[in-house]
């Protein structure tokens, strides 16, 4: 259920994280960290049915602890505990779920989450729009294919359930049926609502008329004219906010990526307002390969009540955030690299310090040390008398672009032979110019101009 990450996987991982972190920082986020375990009671009652998937620590004396299940609940606990009223932060860390890992492809019991959240009392929909902008920036930068962001609002869903005649007590369970519309047909979902959950068929049909709709801002405007829905206070608030959201998304130039989708419901209990989920429009896998399937790669929403659950006085801090589904993204990027048979470098070494003759270990050690001290990424083989061929092969395998070769003659002349691994060209460089030449050749900036 868990796995090690090899250097190759870690190299992919670092590239993906780099794109994500650069985006989070571009939007002015701070970073926090919380412990891997929380008090068991902190996690209790936050995840609905999924609470059974929480890992508990053994009672070895002291408090009862559980491994974190996501990063949102620890974030809310952090805000309440530190009496913070506003913060914009990101948090990248692993979370733990006792899921059956074999059942779902690419799902593990330990996996990364990348969360960005904005907490604070602000004017409506400005932070919400920024969260969607961030999702679009990251998914575009990662170049994993075309995507669409489905948007809805919990208040619209609840208002719709109310006017369709769903009893209050069934809102959540009917909500989770609706959420299955991305995987099941309406007929199947209706059967679940009526057969398993005891909803009257005509109520289900009324829901069906709504949740099968999706579109842009024009659908929002149409529903604002809907005689029943517009009479429901909650739904009206949700629709007005969505209209404002679309205005901001247009200013951000991402309205074409967004679809108002009444079937989007999201599983978690704590959402209170706008919710969203990004899906890839087609598998990036090439024809003939096993398709990755279309699925969610990022999601989030507004949760204005969660911090209050941890505050002794119930003080509320409105929050909105997003989570990037990095594990799915890692798989997609890894699969793409494999398909392209692209070589992934797992080190950044610029130069291997080598020798052509025997008995030059001391000289190699001196030179590699000079290079390290000058900030050059350098290696040498841990052999007293390695063969030149072995040293060159090492470079080929590791993708090291340059070899600095020491020989008796070079030592006498005060030069180093610098060899390009790909072109096999060799040039004598004066030893005092070597550092600069390596920097020049490997594109390390010499100055900021």
| Nearer Cβ to a copy of itself (65/175) | 65
Residue 418: C-alpha distances to residues 309, 356, 378, 410, 441 (Å)? 64, 12, 13, 11, 11
274-280 and 87-96 strand pairing: unpaired
**Structure-block tokens of residue 179:** 């959420």
Residue 268: C-alpha distances to residues 22, 55, 242, 271 (Å)? 28, 18, 20, 7
Report, in Å, the least distance between residue 186 CB and a copy of itself. Answer: 37
Sequence-separated (6 or more) residues with CB below 8 Å from residue 189: 177, 178, 180, 181
The annotation status of 105 as a binding-site residue, yes or no, is no
Whether 269 contacts 132, CB under 8 Å: no
Residue 241: C-alpha distances to residues 129, 154, 207, 301, 359 (Å)? 11, 12, 22, 13, 76
**Structure-block tokens of residue 366:** 């001196």
Whether 339 contacts 286, CB under 8 Å: yes
Report, in Å, the least distance between residue 183 CB and a copy of itself. Answer: 28
The annotation status of 70 as a binding-site residue, yes or no, is yes
d(CA 185, CA 370): 67
| Nearer Cβ to a copy of itself (263/272) | 272
The annotation status of 441 as a binding-site residue, yes or no, is no
Report, in Å, the least distance between residue 147 CB and a copy of itself. Answer: 17
The annotation status of 117 as a binding-site residue, yes or no, is yes
Report, in Å, the least distance between residue 152 CB and a copy of itself. Answer: 22
Report, in Å, the least distance between residue 58 CB and a copy of itself. Answer: 4
| Nearer Cβ to a copy of itself (192/379) | 379
| Nearer Cβ to a copy of itself (226/247) | 247
Report, in Å, the least distance between residue 5 CB and a copy of itself. Answer: 4
| Nearer Cβ to a copy of itself (48/375) | 375
Report, in Å, the least distance between residue 102 CB and a copy of itself. Answer: 12
d(CA 78, CA 76): 5
Report, in Å, the least distance between residue 116 CB and a copy of itself. Answer: 13
Alpha-carbon torsion angle 98, 100, 104, 107, nearest 10: 30
| Nearer Cβ to a copy of itself (48/253) | 253
Report, in Å, the least distance between residue 326 CB and a copy of itself. Answer: 13
| Nearer Cβ to a copy of itself (36/427) | 36
The annotation status of 364 as a binding-site residue, yes or no, is no
Whether 327 contacts 99, CB under 8 Å: no
| Nearer Cβ to a copy of itself (325/386) | 386
The annotation status of 266 as a binding-site residue, yes or no, is yes
Sign of CA pseudo-dihedral 426, 427, 429, 434:
negative
d(CA 197, CA 203): 12
Cα Rg for the chain, rounded, in angstroms?
Answer: 28
| Nearer Cβ to a copy of itself (28/288) | 28
Cross-strand bridge partners of residue 418: 404, 427
d(CA 278, CA 137): 12
Sequence-separated (6 or more) residues with CB below 8 Å from residue 218: none
Q: Report phi then psi at 56, rounded to 5.
A: -100, 150
Q: Which residues of 292-322 are buried (b: 16+ CB within 10 A; e: fewer)?
A: beebebbbbbbbbbbbebbbeeeeebbbbbb
The annotation status of 413 as a binding-site residue, yes or no, is no
Report, in Å, the least distance between residue 177 CB and a copy of itself. Answer: 29
| Nearer Cβ to a copy of itself (307/378) | 378
Which residues are documented as binding site?
70-72, 97, 113, 117, 266, 270-271
- Residues tagged in the binding site annotation for L-histidine: 70-72, 97, 113, 117, 266, 270-271
């Amino acid at each position: 259920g868990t796995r090690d990450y090899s250097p190759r996987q870690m190299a992919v991982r670092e590239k993906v994280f780099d794109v994500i972190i650069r985006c989070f920082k571009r939007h002015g986020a701070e970073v926090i960290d919380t412990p891997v375990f929380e008090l068991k009671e902190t996690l209790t009652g936050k995840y609905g049915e999924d609470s059974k998937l929480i890992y508990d620590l053994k009672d070895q004396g002291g408090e009862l602890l559980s491994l974190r299940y996501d990063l949102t609940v620890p974030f809310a606990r952090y805000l309440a505990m530190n009496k913070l009223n506003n913060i914009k932060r990101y948090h990248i860390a692993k979370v733990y779920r006792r899921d059956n890992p074999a059942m779902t492809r690419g799902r593990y019991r330990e996996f990364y989450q990348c969360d960005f959240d904005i907490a604070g009392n602000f004017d409506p929909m400005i932070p919400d729009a920024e969260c969607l902008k961030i999702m679009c920036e990251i998914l575009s930068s990662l170049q994993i294919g075309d995507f669409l962001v489905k948007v809805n609002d919990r208040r619209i869903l609840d208002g719709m359930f109310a006017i369709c005649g769903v009893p209050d007590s069934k809102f959540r369970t009917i909500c989770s049926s609706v959420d299955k519309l991305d995987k099941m047909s309406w007929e199947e979902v209706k059967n679940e609502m009526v057969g398993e959950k005891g909803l009257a068929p005509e109520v289900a049909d009324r829901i069906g008329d709504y949740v099968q709709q999706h579109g842009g801002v024009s659908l929002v405007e149409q529903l604002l004219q809907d005689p029943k829905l517009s009479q429901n206070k909650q739904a009206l608030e949700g629709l007005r906010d969505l209209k404002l959201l679309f205005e901001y998304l247009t200013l951000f130039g991402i309205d074409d990526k967004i679809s108002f989708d009444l079937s989007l419901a999201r599983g978690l209990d704590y959402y209170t307002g706008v919710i969203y989920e990004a899906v890839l429009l087609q598998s990036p896998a090439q024809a003939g390969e096993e398709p990755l399937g279309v699925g969610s790669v990022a999601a989030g929403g507004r949760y204005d009540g969660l911090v209050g659950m941890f505050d002794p006085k119930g003080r509320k801090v409105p929050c909105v955030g997003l989570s990037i589904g990095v594990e799915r993204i890692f798989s997609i990027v890894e699969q793409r690299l494999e398909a392209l048979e692209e070589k992934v470098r797992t080190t950044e070494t610029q130069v291997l310090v080598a020798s052509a003759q025997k008995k030059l270990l001391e000289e190699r050690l001196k030179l590699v040390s000079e290079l390290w001290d000058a900030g050059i990424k350098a290696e040498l083989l841990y052999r007293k008398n390695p063969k030149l061929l072995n040293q060159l092969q090492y470079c080929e395998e590791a993708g090291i672009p340059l070899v600095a070769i020491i020989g008796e003659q070079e030592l006498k002349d005060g030069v180093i032979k610098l060899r390009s691994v790909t072109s096999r060209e060799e040039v004598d460089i004066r030893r005092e110019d070597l550092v600069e030449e390596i920097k020049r050749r490997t594109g390390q900036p010499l100055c900021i101009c």
